Amino acid sequence: MLNASGKLKIGVSACLAGHLVRYDGKDQRSSVLEHELAPRFELISICPEVGAGMNVPRPPIQIMQSRAGIRVCEVDDHAHDVTQQLQRYAQSAIAELGPELSGFVFKSRSPSCGIDDTPCFDEDGLQQLSVGAGLFTGMLMKRFPQLPLIDEWKFEQPQQCRAFLRRVREYAKEKKINHR
């Protein structure tokens, strides 16, 4: 969880860190993240979709509830199911990086990165049934249920940002990670 300079490691959705990885080829740079986190922590940028081998740009995807369970498919072509591709990457990335991290800042509403506000549609992809976690975030939460998570909207609220950073340091302490 500490890098060579003694900084705790925090995961970030790569688009928030300014990487051009979104489905539309753009980023979603967060200046608050840049100013609040980058100087004090080592940021580990992860894009679960690009990590899983998807292109930039790429067709947008969405989460759907089918009789067989949750599926992640292209919005305009439900036959193109990327669930297993995303799960395979998430499983290996979480196993490798999860133990290193003291927190994670995620992009809200994303089918991969949302924490609690990602829309889930019916099996025709037309009607929104609920909101919840994106696929990567959901798998991370199952594997590391205590890991502090926050989305970029909450992170930009000073009070919530301070509370998140407090939880990050407490988590590192509980896990007996040396930190400054």
Binding site for ligand SF4 (CB under 6 A): 13-15, 21-22, 47-49, 107, 110, 112-113
> Of 83 and 110, which has the nearer Cβ to ligand SF4?
110
> Of 60 and 158, which has the nearer Cβ to ligand SF4?
60
- Least gap, CB of 24 to ligand SF4 (angstroms): 9
Sheet of 69-74, strand order: 77-81, 69-74, 61-66, 118-121, 128-132
> Of 6 and 60, which has the nearer Cβ to ligand SF4?
60
- Least gap, CB of 149 to ligand SF4 (angstroms): 13
Q: What is the DSSP string of 22-87?
A: STTS-----HHHHHHTTTTSEEEEE-HHHHTT--SS---EEEEEETTEEEEEETTEEEEE-HHHHH
- Least gap, CB of 13 to ligand SF4 (angstroms): 4
